[in-house]
């Protein structure tokens, strides 16, 4: 597929989806077989945990708009039967949030737009990008990514990246009321400039960070290190670390499983914290509670990206750590607290989660966005 044909197809799909989005939830919840994967009948939307709010959070909620939350599951991805990647979790998370009455007026869920080719090329090698768009990756490149590239996968990769770029635009546009925006996708931190791996094709956070530096330099003034990437996925953000290894304006922090993937391609972030196998809530929260304040005090960021993977859950098939859903929720609020206290805009991406069945992961993913909406959005 040529570049022009890929974009034309993607734009057509996006347009058709947008026109039908208002009816999608009713249809999908009635359906027992969802196109491109979906929610099993046994899945129940997780209950909204009770919250106590600080004075700062109450003040923010009194003036803030609904949390704008992008999703890319409108772009169907075709995977072989029995594939280990739980692609249906994205749609399941969106449906859980859409079905949650407590989020009415607090969250606005919209389709992710496609990233432009210029936005992708600002980070990625032109030859690699063209091979992705043409579905012409080598066998070795395909194995490293972990799933084959079809035209639908190209569209999904562009949407996953585009949603994070759009969320960045939402929080940085001059005069914006948005202090936080989110993406029920993205967090594709294993993608390097010239190669993908670990289910990651394009690095959405890297593309969004470069977009921020190029488009909103005035919003990043006042700090020599204005962009902070907090990556709490159980796997190191190796692609992100490599892309920004010589970029002094971007600080990369990754707290991840010491003995987990990637084994051969780990890189050096600005700060890395290795967590031992089985690390529980107390261990993981101690790290987050020590490091997040340090990062804010040291670097004085003007924009924060939060890669909010939930694969540190003890139920996760790949994670090897031992966090609970409640501990994960407390982890998220450490990041939210710091952003609220410093009045720093925040972009949240989804990251990994691989429990089997996927219900535990979906519940924790939904908590990420629900708690952000409670914290940042109007009541």
User: Please, are residues 91 and 17 in contact by the beta-carbon 8 Å criterion?
Assistant: no
What pLDDT was estimated at residue 59?
53
User: Please, are residues 222 and 302 in contact by the beta-carbon 8 Å criterion?
Assistant: yes
Q: What is the pLDDT along the chain (379 residues), one digit of tens a residue?
A: 454 554 454 444 444 434 433 333 232 223 322 222 332 223 334 444 444 445 555 555 457 899 999 999 999 888 878 788 888 999 999 999 999 999 999 999 999 999 999 999 999 999 999 999 999 999 999 999 998 888 999 999 999 999 999 999 999 999 999 999 999 999 999 999 999 999 999 999 999 999 999 999 999 999 999 999 999 999 999 999 999 999 999 999 999 999 998 988 999 999 999 999 999 999 999 999 999 999 999 999 999 999 999 999 999 988 899 999 999 999 999 999 999 999 999 999 999 998 988 899 999 999 999 999 999 985 4
What pLDDT was estimated at residue 17?
39
What pLDDT was estimated at residue 24?
34
Q: Which residues pair with 109 in a beta bridge?
A: 69
What pLDDT was estimated at residue 54?
54
Q: Which residues pair with 110 in a beta bridge?
A: 70
Q: What is the pTM of this model?
A: 0.84
Distances (CA, A) of 1 to 90, 130, 152, 154: 26, 10, 11, 10
Beta strands in 241-310, from DSSP E residues, in sequence order:
250-257, 271-275, 303-307
What pLDDT was estimated at residue 197?
96
- Euclidean distance between CA atoms 181 and 164, whole angstroms: 9
pLDDT digits (tens, 9 = 90+) for 173-204: 999 999 999 999 999 999 999 999 999 999 99
What pLDDT was estimated at residue 202?
98
What pLDDT was estimated at residue 378?
58
Nearest of 74, 148, 150 to residue 110 by alpha carbon: 74
Question: Which H or E run contains 69?
Answer: strand 67-71
Domains annotated for the chain, with CATH where assigned, are 3-376 (3.40.800.20)
Contacts of 23 (CB under 8 A, 6+ apart): none
What pLDDT was estimated at residue 149?
87
pLDDT digits (tens, 9 = 90+) for 298-312: 999 999 999 999 999
Q: Can you say whether residue 304 is alpha, beta or left, with left for phi > 0 and alpha for psi between -120 and 50 degrees?
A: beta
pLDDT digits (tens, 9 = 90+) for 129-168: 999 999 999 999 999 999 888 899 999 999 999 999 999 9
Q: How far apart are the first and last CA of the chain?
A: 46
- Tokens matching residue 118: 């210029």
CA 304 to chain CA mean position, Å: 12
Question: Which H or E run contains 228?
Answer: strand 227-231
What are the backbone angles phi and psi of residue 228, rounded to the nearest 5°?
-115, 125
Q: Give the three-class secondary structure for 254.
A: strand
- Tokens matching residue 189: 């931190």
CA 135 to chain CA mean position, Å: 24
What pLDDT was estimated at residue 30?
30
User: Please, are residues 326 and 367 in contact by the beta-carbon 8 Å criterion?
Assistant: no
Nearest of 313, 287, 280 to residue 230 by alpha carbon: 287
User: Please, are residues 50 and 368 in contact by the beta-carbon 8 Å criterion?
Assistant: no
Q: Which residues pair with 228 in a beta bridge?
A: 251, 304
Contacts of 32 (CB under 8 A, 6+ apart): 41
What pLDDT was estimated at residue 278?
94
**Alpha-helix residue ranges (DSSP H) falling in 72-181:** 88-98, 117-121, 126-133, 139-145, 151-172
What pLDDT was estimated at residue 122?
98
Nearest of 39, 48, 20, 22 to residue 93 by alpha carbon: 39
- Euclidean distance between CA atoms 376 and 379, whole angstroms: 9
């Amino acid at each position: 597929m040529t570049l022009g044909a890929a974009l034309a197809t993607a734009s057509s799909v996006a347009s058709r989806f947008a026109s039908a989005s208002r009816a999608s939830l009713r249809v999908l919840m009635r359906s027992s077989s969802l196109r491109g994967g979906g929610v099993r009948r046994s899945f129940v939307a997780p209950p909204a945990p009770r919250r106590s709010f600080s004075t700062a959070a109450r003040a923010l909620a009194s003036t803030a708009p609904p949390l704008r939350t992008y999703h890319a599951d409108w772009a169907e991805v075709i995977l072989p039967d029995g594939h280990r990647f739980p692609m249906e979790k994205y749609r399941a998370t969106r449906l859980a949030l859409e079905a949650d009455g407590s989020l009415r007026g607090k969250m606005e869920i919209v389709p992710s737009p496609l990233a432009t080719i210029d936005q992708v090329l600002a980070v990625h090698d032109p030859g690699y990008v063209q091979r992705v768009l043409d579905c012409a990756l080598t066998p070795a490149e395909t194995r490293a990514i972990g799933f084959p590239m079809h035209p639908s996968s190209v569209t999904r990769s562009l949407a996953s990246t585009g949603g994070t770029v759009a969320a960045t635009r939402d929080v940085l546009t001059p005069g914006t009321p948005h202090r936080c925006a989110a993406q029920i996708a993205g967090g594709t931190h294993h993608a390097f400039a010239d190669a993908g791996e670990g289910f990651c094709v394009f690095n959405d956070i890297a593309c969004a960070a470069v977009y921020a530096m190029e488009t909103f330099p005035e919003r990043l003034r006042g700090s020599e290190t204005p962009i902070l990437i907090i990556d709490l996925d159980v796997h190191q953000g190796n692609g992100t670390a490599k892309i920004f290894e010589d970029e002094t304006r971007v600080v990369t922090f990754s707290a991840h499983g010491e003995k987990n993937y990637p084994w051969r391609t780990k890189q050096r972030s600005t700060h890395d914290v290795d967590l031992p196998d089985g690390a529980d809530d107390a261990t993981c929260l101690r790290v987050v509670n020590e490091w997040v304040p340090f990062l804010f005090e040291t670097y004085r960021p003007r924009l924060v990206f939060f890669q909010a993977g939930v694969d540190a859950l003890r139920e996760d098939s790949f994670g090897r750590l031992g966090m609970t859903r409640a501990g994960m929720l407390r982890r998220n609020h450490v990041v939210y607290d710091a952003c609220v206290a410093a009045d720093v805009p925040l972009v949240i991406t989804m990251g990994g989660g691989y429990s089997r069945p996927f219900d535990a992961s979906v519940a924790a993913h939904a908590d990420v966005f629900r708690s952000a909406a409670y914290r940042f959005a109007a009541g």
